[in-house]
């Protein structure tokens, strides 16, 4: 193929790897016919070739994001190498102590317990939210009378400010409060679970609050996922005699795996930051039984004024959560690739 010839594929078709592409060739042709525009077209062609236009729309948002977050993030890293308390003058005068804050954090039993506890909460709450959200989405999948109302009701908890949820639950969950009264009626005997002051029940209360509020999000994700499932494989399975369960298990569920992975990533990230419920329901108590990482970091930074220690702890947490999210995204990509390969003729 000569340099001046056009490649033999129709407009809009994907170019092969290494193919300079139509724009670049067009630009070269224009260059010969209109030398005045040569450098502009050259730059445009180069930009297109480098797929710059694909990213260009994101530049303002990402730029703003970087502008707002990057200085803070860098300051956080810097502070973690100092020994600064808010009560000890300006941070730029604080002594450099290297990795002391990190070593201190790793030796801080309370911090390690808070990390373990938070992951424990997430490990219980997120699967529950996924199961419930998925179940509700399946119920609302087929048209029925009042479906829109139910859908709205299921989404309502997500629209309430978490602090309000925490405050309301703190009133509902006292041992002689409405929640135990309802349980007592259902059980036919007095139920006096100390939701806010028993070591185990308080944990359940915090998890329950998270599940109540955020099942709505997984519901929304799954409703969208189910609505977007391709019809052809399902019809094909039906024609081949598969029953509803087989279609669900062997066709729909595998197709939903990327959606499930997205829901897991989204909810896990949020669940690991849980703050409002333990603060408002139990103040992290009884003892420290509901003290999550976010609560402990808040105390460390703003109550104890130990900013450098809090910075080191939050960086350790960032690494741990990043590893988790990285693994989850790899799983998500692998599933998408697998589905794409299976869908290919």
For other proteins, the closer of residues 169 and 261 by Cβ is 169
The CB-of-283 to other proteins minimum distance in angstroms stands at: 4
Instruction: Give the residues lining the site for other proteins (CB under 8 A).
Output: 86-88, 170, 174-176, 190, 192, 194-199, 202, 281-288, 298-299, 302-307
Please give the Cα distance from 185 to 191 (Å, whole number): 9
For other proteins, the closer of residues 248 and 298 by Cβ is 298
For other proteins, the closer of residues 158 and 305 by Cβ is 305
For other proteins, the closer of residues 47 and 73 by Cβ is 73
The CB-of-299 to other proteins minimum distance in angstroms stands at: 7
Q: Whole-angstrom distance between the N-terminal and C-terminal Cα of the chain?
A: 30
The CB-of-184 to other proteins minimum distance in angstroms stands at: 11
The CB-of-119 to other proteins minimum distance in angstroms stands at: 21
For other proteins, the closer of residues 86 and 236 by Cβ is 86
The CB-of-284 to other proteins minimum distance in angstroms stands at: 6
Please give the Cα distance from 303 to 291 (Å, whole number): 14
For other proteins, the closer of residues 91 and 212 by Cβ is 91
Cβ–Cβ under 8 Å, residues 293 and 320: no
Half-sphere exposure of residue 105, counting CA atoms within 13 Å on the CB side?
Answer: 25
- Which residue blocks in the chain are alpha helix, DSSP H? 22-33, 38-49, 52-55, 59-80, 100-106, 109-139, 147-155, 162-172, 178-187, 199-227, 231-239, 244-246, 253-271, 276-277, 293-298, 307-343
Q: How many residues can be counted in the chain?
A: 345
Query: Quick one: tokens of 84?
Result: 């600064």
The CB-of-67 to other proteins minimum distance in angstroms stands at: 19
Rg of the chain in Å (alpha carbons): 28
Query: Dihedrals φ, ψ of 195, to 5°?
Result: -60, -30
The CB-of-319 to other proteins minimum distance in angstroms stands at: 25
The CB-of-173 to other proteins minimum distance in angstroms stands at: 8
For other proteins, the closer of residues 75 and 131 by Cβ is 75
DSSP 195-220: TTTSHHHHHHHHHHHHHHHHHHHHHH
What 3-state class would DSSP assign to 96? strand
Cβ–Cβ under 8 Å, residues 216 and 136: no
For other proteins, the closer of residues 252 and 291 by Cβ is 291
């Amino acid at each position: 193929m000569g340099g001046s010839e056009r490649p033999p594929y129709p407009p809009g078709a994907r170019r092969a790897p290494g193919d300079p592409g139509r724009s670049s060739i067009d630009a070269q042709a224009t260059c010969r016919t209109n030398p005045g525009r040569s450098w502009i077209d050259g730059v445009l062609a180069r930009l297109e070739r480098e797929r710059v236009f694909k990213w260009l729309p994101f530049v303002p948002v990402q730029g703003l994001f970087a502008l707002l977050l990057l200085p803070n993030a860098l300051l956080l890293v810097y502070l973690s190498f100092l020994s600064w308390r808010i009560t000890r003058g300006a941070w730029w005068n604080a002594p450099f102590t290297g990795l002391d804050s990190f070593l201190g954090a790793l030796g801080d039993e309370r911090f390690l317990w808070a990390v373990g506890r938070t992951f424990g909460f997430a490990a219980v709450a997120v699967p529950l939210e996924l199961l419930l959200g998925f179940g509700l989405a399946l119920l609302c999948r087929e048209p029925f009378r009042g479906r829109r109302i139910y859908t709205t009701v299921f989404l309502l908890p997500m629209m309430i400010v978490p602090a309000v949820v925490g405050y309301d639950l703190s009133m509902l969950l006292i041992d002689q409060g409405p929640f135990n009264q309802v349980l007592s009626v259902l059980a036919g005997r007095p139920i006096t679970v100390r939701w806010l002051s028993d070591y185990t029940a308080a944990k359940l209360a915090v998890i329950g609050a998270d599940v109540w509020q955020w099942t709505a999000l997984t519901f929304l994700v799954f409703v969208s996922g189910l609505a977007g499932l391709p019809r052809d494989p399902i019809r094909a399975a039906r024609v081949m005699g598969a029953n509803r369960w087989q279609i669900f298990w062997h066709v729909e569920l595998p197709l939903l795996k990327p959606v499930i992975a997205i829901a897991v990533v989204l909810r896990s990230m949020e669940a690991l930051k849980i703050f409002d419920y333990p603060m408002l329901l139990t103040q992290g108590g009884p003892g420290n039984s509901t003290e999550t990482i976010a609560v402990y970091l808040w105390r460390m930074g703003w109550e104890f004024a130990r900013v450098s220690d809090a910075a080191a702890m939050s960086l350790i947490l960032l690494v741990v959560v990043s590893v988790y999210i990285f693994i989850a995204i790899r799983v998500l990509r692998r599933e998408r690739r697998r589905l794409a390969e299976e869908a290919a003729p």
